[in-house]
Amino acid sequence: MAKTDYILAILRLSLGWIFFWAFIDKLYGLGFATTSDKSWLAGGSPTFGFLKNATQGPFSSFYHSIAGTPVVDFLFMAGLGLIGVSLILGVGVKIAGYSGALMMLLMWSAVLPPQNNPVLDDHIIYLIILITLASSKSGHIWGLGKQWSSTSIVKKYKFLE
């Protein structure tokens, strides 16, 4: 294995933890980004605050209109949780990477133009990393990707790799 394979595995695990931690914090309200009274389990909306108050630019009216809706809350939380677990375990990295990249693109489009740079922000950097992970075999190192790739369903449907 090359050094870059281990760097990609570290990126996969790190980004997986970022997604999974956001899921856990929004679910339970651990007091980091989400207080306990605003947790999803306490009836709070994981999307309302950001989509209602932080969005700006050409798509802000769209994001304001979907803020806090149950379907958007569910999709957002499912995305955070599933992408995080997938990246941490190293299974389904391809679909998790592309799904996460789409999530990052949507979050970037919600704050156009970005605050500190007219084009680029952390969402785009994460998007690039996620596409890189989706295009690699990073789940094979320090993950279950090798075993996952050898299952009959993944051999039949490569997009699940």
> pLDDT per residue over 36-48, tens digit each?
999 999 999 999 9
Residues of the chain with pLDDT under 70: none
The pLDDT of residue 1 is 78
**What number of CA atoms fall less than 13 Å from residue 67's CA on the CB side?**
16
The pLDDT of residue 118 is 87
Nearest Cα to Cα of residue 107 among 80, 136, 133? 80
28 phi-psi bin (left φ>0, alpha ψ -120 to 50, beta other): alpha
> Is 56 in a helix, a strand, or coil?
strand
Asked if residues 27 and 40 have their Cβ atoms less than 8 Å apart, the reply is yes
**What number of CA atoms fall less than 13 Å from residue 16's CA on the CB side?**
24
